[in-house]
Amino acid sequence: MSRARLGDLASYLLLGVLAVFFAVPFAWLVSLAIRTPAEVYRGAARFIPEAPTLDNFRTILSDPAFLIYLWNGLKLSTAGAALAVALAIPAAYACSRIDFRGKAAVLLGLLAVQMISPLVLLVPLYRWMSALGLLNRDLSVIAVYGALGMPLAVWLLKIAFDAIPKELEEAASMDGASRPRTLALITLPLARSGIASAFILAMVMNWSQFLIPFILLERDADWPISVAIFNFAGSISASTTQLLAAACLIAVLPAVAVFVALQRMIVTALIAGAVKG
Amino acid sequence: MRPAPDRGPGAAHPAPWLLPAVLVLAAFYAVPVLDVARLAVSDATLVRPASGFSTQALRAILTDPALPQVLGTTLLFVAVNVVALQLLGLLIALTIARGERRGLHGMAAFRTLVLAAWVVPGIANGLIWSMLFDEAPYGTLNSLLAYVGAGPVAWLSDPRMALVSAVIANLWQGTAFSMIVFYAARRGIDPTLYEVAALDGAGPWRVFTAITLPLLRRAIAVNTVLVSVQTLNTFDSILALTGGGPGRATEVLSLFTFNTVFYNLDLAGGAVLALLLFVIGMGMTLAVLAAGGRGEA
């Protein structure tokens, strides 16, 4: 066997072992979620349950509160991601197309603020939201999501804009179009896959957010799914592992499904970001 | 203001374009950080505003006997994760990159699997691993270990093991980030360097130490900063996995801060801790960037 072939074998061996590590938690979650209470006690002896059941999902999804949590999660993460992208577009455009002093500082600053824990920011923000009467309002969570998602969105959009030839914009501006008009009619449509990547990425991050909605929304009915499952886990006894597994799967699935479906586009954007950044 | 260079599309005033982003940075980042610093030297609680200057909270937190333990746990958790996440991420990135060059099947599928763990919400990550680490005889890992005649392991009830368990759960979720960074950096290396090395008859280890590693140095420096700070700020998965326990065995600084502010409602104390979190994060960023910058020169 040639040296290269031996290397291939070693690669597969290594990735195989790692694949087990990365796949087991998902596989086990599914396995637990389709078990009857009796089969939960069989542990590893029944990886594929003897009598697989969808009852756990039925129980979870027949609770109207759970559908509301899912809807809240979708609503908050979509609106927050849209806000982040909207806030990022002008700055990303300026960083891509306009020469100005301090551009490097702006881009570095955007990178640096992402190092600040939301926990640090949330202490004062909680007080301000309270003073403004915005506690328990979706608006407060959406505003914070927009602010937290904006820096990464500026970076990703700047890279997307950089990839669009300036000549296309020059042609439009020679025809007398103003800069904002050129941006809206020429640049944004051409950058749509970059914009979509930034939006989806922000949305997936928001879907995972626990701290912000947990602190800013006190009413059960306003919670997104990420907060709800934490509360759910604290409220049940160990005898309902299969229900918790089903609830977790329902919380995890939308983010994983969207990401996996669109990962080629998102990963391309991220790799471009990693190379430039 | 410097006169705008006469370059057609480059000539415009950036201020109106930058305004939204700058306002957001000021309102949601800069002013809150300053406010945290102000609260740290006040006597405010979450429900009562500050009435004056006070270093009482500062002193109370700094003399809290729990703080050294929390800082020790944080240091250990961050250090182990930063090393392990990057080693694993580098190993995967280079193996996938090699596999792709060799036209091996399944590389994209493997990358997708690692990325799927990345998008799992932190709370769900903690809950999923708490089911895997379940110490009952029917718990996942313990019942698997029983098959090979090993265990049972006190995954979450033994203080030392609990920290190991928290690291494992964090590795599962966090590896993807380092993988992407290193994968991108590896693809950015000029392939002719490898062709020359092959002509010179350099072995794989020599190629790795003489070409790949030195050229990945900048990526490793930047990634070390990002991963350190991300790990420092992680607390939702630990909250769901162990709640910081047993005792304080897995209570890292961010979780301690969270508990101080939002469970004990001690805003001034929490502000001190938040400030500490901010200073440590920024300190690590500057330290590694300075070291990386020196290495490059």
Q: What is the mean pLDDT of chain A?
A: 86
Interface of B with A in 108-127 (CB under 8 A): 110-117, 119-124, 127
Block means of pLDDT (10 residues each) for chain B, 297 residues, are 45 81 90 87 68 74 85 93 95 92 89 91 92 81 79 82 92 93 90 89 87 89 88 91 85 91 81 89 78 49
Which segment of A85-99, A108-122, B8-22, B218-232 scores lowest on mean pLDDT? B8-22
Residue A276 has pLDDT above 90, yes or no: no
Which residues of chain A does B74 touch, with a Cβ-Cβ cutoff of 8 Å?
none
Tell whether B28 lies on the interface with A, counting CB pairs under 8 A.
yes
pLDDT of amino acid B2:
46
Residue A52 has pLDDT above 70, yes or no: yes
Tell whether B267 lies on the interface with A, counting CB pairs under 8 A.
yes
Q: With an 8 Å Cβ cutoff, are A91 and B20 in contact?
A: yes
Three-state SS string across chain A, please?
Answer: CCHHHHHHHHHHHHHHHHHHHHHHHHHHHHHHHCCCHHHHCCHHHHCCCCCCCCHHHHHHHCCHHHHHHHHHHHHHHHHHHHHHHHHHHHHHHHHHHCCCCCHHHHHHHHHHHCCCCHHHHHHHHHHHHHHCCCCCCHHHHHHHHHHHHHHHHHHHHHHHHHCCCHHHHHHHHHCCCCHHHHHHHHHHHHCHHHHHHHHHHHHHHHHHCCHHHHHHCCCHHHCCHHHHHHHHHHHCCHHHHHHHHHHHHHHHHHHHHHHHHHHHHHHHHHHHHHHHC
Q: Which of A14, A15, A30, A249 to mutate to test the interface with B (most CBs of B within 10 A)?
A: A15
Chain A, nearest residue to B15 by Cα: A94
A166-222 confidence digits (pLDDT tens): 888 787 777 777 888 888 888 888 888 889 989 998 999 999 999 999 989 988 889
Q: Which of A24, A117, A233 sits opposite B281 (nearest CB)?
A: A117
Rg of chain B on CA atoms, in Å = 24
How far, CA to CA in Å, does B278 sit from each of A205, B14, B114?
21, 30, 30
How far, CA to CA in Å, does B8 sit from each of A101, A114, A171?
17, 33, 11
Answer with the residue of higher pLDDT: A36 or B74: B74
Torsion sign (Cα): A66, A67, A71, A72: negative
Q: With an 8 Å Cβ cutoff, are A267 and B115 in contact?
A: yes
Number of domains in chain B: 1
Q: Which of B88, B116, B144 sits opposite A256 (nearest CB)?
A: B116
Q: Which of A112, A166, A274 sits opposite B181 (nearest CB)?
A: A274
Q: Which of B140, B184, B285 sits opposite A271 (nearest CB)?
A: B184
Q: Which of A4, A118, A208 sits opposite B102 (nearest CB)?
A: A4
B245-280 confidence digits (pLDDT tens): 788 888 999 999 998 888 888 778 888 898 899 999
B97 found inside a domain:
yes
B252 in helix, strand or coil?
A: coil
Is residue A116 within 8 Å of B278, Cβ to Cβ?
A: yes
B1 found inside a domain:
no
pLDDT of amino acid B102:
87
Q: Does the structure's ipTM exceed the value 0.95?
A: no
B25 found inside a domain:
no
pLDDT of amino acid A47:
76
B42 in helix, strand or coil?
A: strand
Nearest to B126 by CA among A47, A25, A111: A25
Q: Which of B2, B6, B18, B266 to mutate to test the interface with A (most CBs of A within 10 A)?
A: B18
Q: With an 8 Å Cβ cutoff, are B277 and A120 in contact?
A: yes
pLDDT of amino acid B1:
43
B8 found inside a domain:
no
Tell whether B83 lies on the interface with A, counting CB pairs under 8 A.
no
Which residues of chain B does A123 touch, with a Cβ-Cβ cutoff of 8 Å?
32, 35-36, 39, 261, 267, 270-271, 274
Residue B246's CATH number: 1.10.3720.10
Nearest to B197 by CA among B216, B214, B211: B211
Residue A74 has pLDDT above 80, yes or no: yes
Q: How confident is the model at residue A84 (pLDDT cuts 50, 70, 90)?
A: very high
The helix or strand, by DSSP H or E, that contains position B40, with its residue range, turns out to be helix B31-40
CA atoms within 13 Å, Cβ hemisphere of A228: 25
CATH code, residues A64-227+251-276:
1.10.3720.10
Rg of chain A on CA atoms, in Å = 23
